Every structure is written in structure tokens, then in C-alpha cells.
A and B are shown apart, each in its own frame.
Chain A
Amino acid sequence: MLYLKPTHQRLSATRMAPITLGFVGLTVTAVFASFAIGARSIPISEVVAALLGTSTSPEAVVVTSQRIPRTLVALIAGSGLGAAGALMQGHTRNPLADPGLFGVNAGAGFLVALTAFTIGISSPFTITLAALFGAAITAVFIFFLGLRHVNSSALVMLAVIGTTVSALLSGLTTAIILLDKQALDVVRFWVAGSVTNRDTSQIILTLILTIIGMLLAVSNGFSINNLSLGEDVAKSLGTRVLQSRIVGILAITLLAGAATALCGPIGFVGLVAPHLARVFSRHDYRWLIVQSALAGGSLLLFADILGRVMAPPGELQAGIVMGIVGAPILILIARKRRLVAL
């Protein structure tokens, strides 16, 4: 094992680097598409000029003041959710794991609503803190349940449990917003999962948290590789099981919680992104987490772009588009084959 490892890693690197570069290319494409496409058609030359700062036309202002922030938001939230999904799928060995489907986003959302209602202040800092706390509680709960059983029925059952917890939490959230019409007006757009008109300080806060979470996630990849052989094997390979689980939960909390605080609960990014990455690469989580983050970022960007052009004159929130696009993919996964543990 000791002398096999370097070869294995080199092999992995030569195969994975081009694939990862491909995902980087996809993300860059998505970012530029997001700059260029919108309800208002702006010629490419004007977009480039706006990006370079050489133009001050109204079109350029639209690009710099509207499209660049929302692109950044979608990229941060999408990559966070994608990586969180890969982590959840890796730790629970469940191909259905997703921060949205398993209730982590609902947990974050509920605590945001609760904090807004009880304390009343909705500063970016309190919102984010509440979301992180809610995400952490649900993530621990899901880990606790999900690590017990890995047969095919349990995989589906965990999804049912997640949906149940989501139903419970969104019921409570509804109860809260019903008491306050003003809260309803805020929350009904927030729950739709929108990436527009976000507070700048919150974007920065989320960016910092996402970077920390991403570092934790990447450092967790090697342990997940060992853990996917089963806890006993992982232990004998020298993995500290409890420690890596805790790092995993921390990373999921930071990534999914911060993304939810920023955009509201967005489902299916964490489900679809790792599956997309797995089409090209194998189950090497050191790479899969990075690729899922890139895929997740591009996915949410494309969802947002689609939402801008799908229903003119209005816009469709990115979270709604993800629901409409993601649900059929879940159905596809359900239909395609017998569910097996990862």
C-alpha cells in the first residue's frame, strides 16, 4: 500500500487534471454567458467594454451593477451547494444526498425565519449566523441517521426522512411568516431562491465562509475515499473516522448554510452536480469535490440565465428553475437503475 500510493495518485492526477480543466472551462463559459445574456439584449462588444471599464453607457451600467453581482452570487452559492452535495453523498454513501432534499437548507431557512421573527433584526450577519446554525443541526441529524444503514431501502428512506424534516421545518416557517405580513413579503421571495439584489456585505461574508468551507471540503476528500470502503477499513488505513466526519459536517454547514443565507433554500444543485462530475471522473473524492463545486457553480449560473429568458417579461428565480430542472433528474436517477450505496 505504501509504495502503491504514489503511482495511484499520479495516475489519478494525469487523468483527472484535464477533466477538472474541462469543468473550469464550463464555469468560465457560464460566467461569461451570465454577463452577456439577459432580459435586455446587450451586444458582446458593449459587455466586454463594460468589463474592461472603458464604457459608461447605460448598457454597461446594467452589466456592472446588475449582472456582475448576481453572477458572483450564483457562482458562490452554486459551488458551495455542489461541494456540499458531494460531501454529503460521500459521507452518507447515499446517491440521493443533497442539502435541499435532505433538509439542510430547510433547517437553515427555518432558523433564519425564526431569528427574523424573534429578534426582528435582519442584518446580514445575524441571517448568516442563523442559517449556519440551522444547517449544522440538520446536518448532524442526517449524519446520525444516515450512517447507520446503507442498504437500498435505507437510501430511499433517508430521502424520505429528509423530505419529512423539510416538511416539518417549512410548516414551522409558514407558521412564523403567517404571523407577520411584512415577513411574508420578504420570505416569499427568499424561499424562491433568488440570486438578485443581494446585500454586498453579505456577498463578501458568504464568500469568506465558502472559501473556508471549500478548504475544509478539499482536505476532507482523502478521508472520504477511505471511508467509502467502510469505517473499519478506513480505520485500518489510518483514517481518523470521527475527526473526518466532524470536518465534513463543518464544511457542509459552512457551504450549504452560507449559500442558503445568501439566496434562500435552493435544491438539487447538490444532487445533480456530483452526479454530473461522476459521469466523467470516478469516485475519487479529492477530485470529485472540486469538480462538483465547479459543476454546481455552472449549474446555478445556467439555471439563473434560463430563468432570465424563460418567462419574459418577468424573471424566474434560479431556485425555481433548479426545482423544475432538478426534479426530473431525480426521477431519472430513480428510474434508471436499482439504487446502490456509493
Chain B
Amino acid sequence: MTPEPNSGLQLGPIGLPRRSTAVKATITTLGLLLLLTAIALQRGEIDIPLSRMLDTFLGRGTRLDHLVLIDHRLARLLVGAGIGCALGIAGALTQTIARNPIATPDILGVTTGASAFAVLVLVMPRLAESTLGISGRAALIPGAFVGAFLTTALILGISWRGGFDGYRLILVGLGVNALALAFTTWLLTKASIEEAAVATRWLSGSLEGVTITDIIPLFVTSLVIIFVCLFISGDLGALKLGRDVAKTLGVRTGRTEFIALALAVLAVAVTTAIAGPIAFVAFVAPQAAMRVFGSAGPPPIASGLLGAVLLVSADLFAMSLPVTLPVGVITAIFGAPFLLYILRHQHRRTRA
């Protein structure tokens, strides 16, 4: 765990230990991301050669090229990468503080709670207007945030019994998830068929129709999360050893856990508002990152990188199918078996 002296990088409170597996994995992941970027930019109905691509990026391209390349392909790529990154980090944070791989926002029902309130905002614009002062797509982020926050508070409040038992947390999460799901289903039956169609498409988690303007809130959130993560990464590392050990190491455990949880809630709210609930990225990315990067626990930043890779490739895969499916369906189809694998694996070890 502890880096050897004079290895790695130390900048005030921010420390980066040097481990060869991690370095190799980072280079590979970044390479993959670059490759995916290249694929995402060139694939599609309209063929744009490299020279015209460069022209467009330098601002000398035609309007059509600009529209296709920047407004469409690049926007979708960046939004996908940003969402994957934020979700990956959120998953790593919650897995770390709960010390349980299952404890991620999507499995515990925080994502469902966020989308339930977002659907509420979608199908009852007047309510949104009166409480939030805005309606339509602009109200989605605050709506989702309220939902994510309330769900988290509910799950934590109910499962707190002088401490969090991992299994109780998960069961309560399942219950809250079912509750939010029932609420959403009810809202859908109340809505008109047009609203229901919009909400259903959004509820399956899709990057279709994201615009370049979605990038701003997403990148601000991602940057804030990454920045704060770097600051608390040392404390989080200590938390992996257990609360008591972390305390004796001088970590203010309560504060660290609160910050980590707040970051996760923020990430879930913003990503859900933009693209709907995208299942299993927050669960898969940290667990995959842990294995690929050879670290002892879920590494936040690496999980973010891997989350971006996973979501972008899932979206590219979704687009290459004969029938265009929402990316949330793809992540569910590939994520669920991975969860089953982890559950089987977890059995052999007593506890993660």
C-alpha cells in the first residue's frame, strides 16, 4: 500500500504512488480512449476524410461537416466519456466507503430515485415550474439531484443501526429501489402517450439527442469530482482498511465519508439528468479498474477512466447494431453477467 520513499510523485496533499502495473494500465486505457475517439469521429452515415476533419476542427470546414463532426459525433463522444467517468468515480467512492462491491448507486436504487424525480419533473411541468422555477429539460438536473439526495438519505437513514451492516444496506437499497420503481411506473401511467414515450426513451438511458450544451454541466461536475477526489484519495485509501484503522491513522472518517457520498450523489444526479439511468457502469468500472490496475481497492480516478472507456465503447456498439438500442440497454446486458460473476467470486472470499 505505502509507496516506497522516493518513488512516485508528491504534490502537497496529492500523492501519486508509482506502480508499474498501474502505469501500464493507465497508458493502455488512455490509448484505448484515443482509439475509441478516432472510431467515434469517423464512423457514421457521412464519410469525412481526415483532411476535412482537421479543417473542421481548425474552424475552416463546411457547415455540414461542422454539424456532423462537432455538434453530433464529438458531442456524443464527450458526453458519453464524461458520464462514464463520473459514474465510474461515483461507484468507486461508494464501494470504498461501504467496503462492498455491490454498494453502488445503481444497485442501491439511488439512480432509480434520481430518475423517478426526473420523470416527475418531465410529466408534471407545472409542479416543476412552481417548486424549482424552471421546467422542461432544464429542470431535469435539479429534479434528479433532489431525487438522488432523498433516496440516499432514505437508504442511509433506514439502514443505520449504530453502523452500517453491508447486507442490510443492500436489502434496504433493494426496497427503496422497488419503491422508486413503483412511483415511476405510476407517473408513466398518469402521463399522456407523448410524454410517456419521451420519458420511456429517457428512462432506458440513451445518449441519443445529447447536445454540445450538455457538456458544460457534465464537465464542471467531473472536474470538481476529480479534483476533490485527488485531495481525499489518501484518506479513502485508509478507509479501505476499515473505519477503526482509518481513525487510528488520523483520518477524519465521518468527514471523508460524507464528502465521498456527496460527490457520488452529485455525479449520479447530473449524469442521470443528462442521459437517464445508465445501469451497471458505476458497478463495473471500479471492479474492473481494481483488477486491471492491480490496486487493493477500487481506485477512483482509474475507475473514471475505465468508466469512460466502457460507456463510449458500449455506445459505439449500440450504434453499430442493425437496430439502434439505447446505451443503457447495452450496459445492462453486459453489466448484469459481470455482477453475477462478481457475486460468485465473492462467495469464495468471505468478504470484499
Chain A residues with a Cβ under 8 A of chain B: 96, 101, 149, 152-154, 156-157, 159-161, 163-165, 167-168, 171-172, 174-175, 177-179, 181, 184-185, 188-189, 191-192, 267-268, 314, 316-317, 319-320, 322-324, 326-328, 330-331, 333-335, 339
Contact = CB atoms under 8 A, between A and B. Distances in A.
A31 B193 CA distance: 33
Contacts of A175: 204, 323, 325-326, 329
Given A185-B193, A189-B189, A157 B343 contact: yes
Contacts of B181: 323
A181 B190 CA distance: 17
Given A171-B329, A172-B332, A331-B172, 18 more contacts: A96-B171, A157-B343, A159-B174, A160-B170, A160-B339, A161-B340, A174-B326, A181-B193, A185-B193, A188-B188, A189-B189, A192-B188, A320-B185, A324-B179, A324-B182, A327-B179, A327-B182, A334-B175
7 contacts: A149-B347, A171-B279, A171-B332, A320-B189, A324-B179, A330-B171, A334-B168
A156 B170 contact: yes
Interface in B158-190: 158-159, 161, 167-168, 170-172, 174-179, 181-183, 185-186, 188-190
A172 B174 contact: no
Contact of B329 (A174, A188, A191): A174
B200 A164 contact: no
Contacts of B279: 167, 171
A152 B329 contact: no
B185 A178 contact: no
A192 to B, nearest CB: 5
Among A184, A316, A327, A333, the one with the most B-chain Cβ atoms within 10 Å of its Cβ is: A327
B174 A163 contact: yes
Among B182, B185, B197, B333, the one with the most A-chain Cβ atoms within 10 Å of its Cβ is: B182
Contacts of B329: 171-172, 174-175
A178 B196 contact: no
Interface of A is mostly: helix
Contacts of B323: 175, 179
B347 A154 contact: yes
Contact of B328 (A160, A171, A339): A171
B215 interface: no
A331 B171 contact: yes
Given A323-B179, A330-B175, A339 B167 contact: yes
A165 B329 CA distance: 13
A188 to B, nearest CB: 6
A328 B175 contact: yes
A177 B262 CA distance: 35
Contacts of B174: 101, 159-160, 163, 330, 334
A188 B178 contact: no
B252 interface: no
A171 B200 contact: no
Interface of B: 102, 107, 158-159, 161, 167-168, 170-172, 174-179, 181-183, 185-186, 188-190, 193, 196-197, 200-201, 203-204, 279-280, 323, 325-326, 328-329, 332-333, 336, 339-340, 343, 346-347
B333 A331 contact: no
A27 B195 CA distance: 39
Contacts of B340: 161, 164
A160 B182 contact: no
Nearest to B161: A335
Give 7 closest A-B pairs by Cβ, nearest first: A323-B182, A334-B171, A171-B332, A331-B175, A327-B179, A168-B336, A330-B175
A190 to B, nearest CB: 11
A313 to B, nearest CB: 12
A167 B332 contact: yes
A188 B340 CA distance: 28
Contacts of B189: 188-189, 192, 317, 320
A275 to B, nearest CB: 14
Given A157-B343, A175-B325, A327-B175, A192 B186 contact: yes
Contacts of A327: 175-176, 178-179, 182
Contacts of A152: 167
B158 A331 contact: yes
Given A314-B190, A323-B182, A327-B182, A178 B333 contact: no
A328 B179 contact: yes
Contacts of A326: 178
A175 B201 CA distance: 9
A164 B174 CA distance: 11
A85 to B, nearest CB: 15
B303 to A, nearest CB: 20
B171 A159 contact: yes
A177 B200 contact: yes
Contacts of B167: 152-153, 156, 339
Contacts of A96: 171
A268 B178 contact: yes
B170 A316 contact: no
Contact of A168 (B168, B183, B333): B333
B178 A267 contact: yes
Nearest to B181: A323
B170 to A, nearest CB: 6
Contact of B200 (A159, A174, A328, A333): A174
A188 B332 contact: no
A192 B167 CA distance: 29
A174 B330 CA distance: 11
B207 to A, nearest CB: 14
A90 B347 CA distance: 22
B185 A192 contact: yes
Nearest to B194: A181
A171 B179 CA distance: 18
Contacts of B339: 160-161, 164
Given A178-B201, A331-B158, A316 B171 contact: no
